[in-house]
Amino acid sequence: MSDIKKVVLAYSGGLDTSVILKWLQDTYGCEVITFTADIGQGEEVAPARKKAQMMGVKQIFIEDLREEFVRDFVFPMFRANAVYEGEYLLGTSIARPLIAKRLVEIARQVDADAISHGATGKGNDQVRFELGAYALMPNVKVIAPWREWDLLSREKLLAYADKNGIPVDFKKRKGGAPYSMDANLLHISYEGGVLEDPDFEPEDSMWRITVSPEKAPAKPEMLELRYQHGDIVAVNGRKMSAAKVLTELNRIGGAHGIGRLDMVENRYVGMKSRGCYETPGGTIMLRAHRAMESITLDREVLALKDDLMSRYARLVYNGYWFSPERVLLQSLIDQSQVPVNGRVRLKLYKGTVLVTGRESKTDSLFDPAISTFDDDGGAYNQADAAGFIKLNALRLRIAANLGAKRRPKK
């Protein structure tokens, strides 16, 4: 272990990563550099600096990555309409490649021998962090303490913290929440603890950024989103940066009880896992984006995107953001978004998002003269449909005739 002289640790300042910090110092006898990312988790990151300094860390990186997170990771993913297993909007999954990217960039900057993270050996995050790191720094050494140490219970972590003088939040010492929570600007996830029973209904107090639909306002709220090349550039007529768009949609959507999800998903490592998620802004974004595409994209382009969506979502979920296949898919998806320009109007009401209008003055493929059920002035010859139907029915008729010949005669 003596070849490890310097390690960059993804550090939150919480119990687990604080114990990891000390454990790395003790076990590897190395210098630890901490990296704390603000990706919109809603908690102060400054205390992480004070705690790291108290534990002897000399180089501390604390960075506001909210804009980069939404602009370069969330928005590209939503251009693909990515949904994992029909429901999950990939809030945790999409944050990991950004953290991995900065970990290896800092490792290069400080000439570190290794990087380290606090993901457990049973979850998806270890895969996401490490696949991302290896894709960007092929020979990087990764230290994953949860796969090496014997501190496999909260009691052991607390005992280690007490022995080494690591401050522990009072709530953590008392057991804290009966589940684990992870937050960023796209969502909050809850799992573990009492949620490991898939038949247990969480208390309403668990949810942090959405009101229950029952308690949401009795009056609907109208919302207008303006799109440019598949990305939202304005909310209710106000131009905003990517991070501010998502922040505003979280605020509005959360107030109307939008974006709650309770699902059992299949982890990449092979087990099923129950998770609860709050994604108010993302839920609005998905609905609006599909509405914008409905009038600006060709039928077969839409169908191709839908065919690829589940593949794309699995790549993100499983940690392959920096893989050549995801990059290739992104290039195709981004090309499809060139004409996705215009505005979408929505009605938000008690947990629901209803599209009430969509318009593109420059790129709409919706032609009222052809689509109308009234007299179209000859724009569409309905008699042509007979030949179209017969040609498409030809294989069905051939098979039916063959089946009739095979049936035994009475």
Residues marked active site are found at 16, 96, 125, 180
With tokens 């704390």, the residue in question is 36
Full DSSP string of 284-298: HHHHHHHHHHHHHS-
**What distance lies between CA 380 and its chain's CA centroid?**
43
* CB neighbourhood size of 371 (10 A): 10
CA distance 176 to 169: 9
Helices (H) and strands (E) in the chain, counts: 14, 14
Q: Which residues pair with 343 in a beta bridge?
A: 226, 359
Cβ burial, residue 370 (10 Å; 0-12/13-18/19+): exposed
Query: Distance of CA 309 to CAs 77, 80, 86, 127, 327, Å?
Result: 10, 6, 10, 21, 14
CA distance 187 to 334: 24
CA distance 14 to 173: 12
Torsion of Cα atoms, 241 then 244 then 250 then 256, to 10°: -90
Query: What secondary structure letter does DSSP report for 356?
Result: E
Q: Which residues pair with 264 in a beta bridge?
A: 274
SS3 category, 226: strand
Tell me how far apart the terminal alpha carbons of the chain are, to the nearest angstrom: 84
CA distance 15 to 172: 8
Among 372, 373, 308, 366, smallest CA distance to 335 is for 308
Query: What secondary structure letter does DSSP report for 9?
Result: E
* CB neighbourhood size of 194 (10 A): 14
CA distance 358 to 87: 24
CA distance 99 to 129: 7
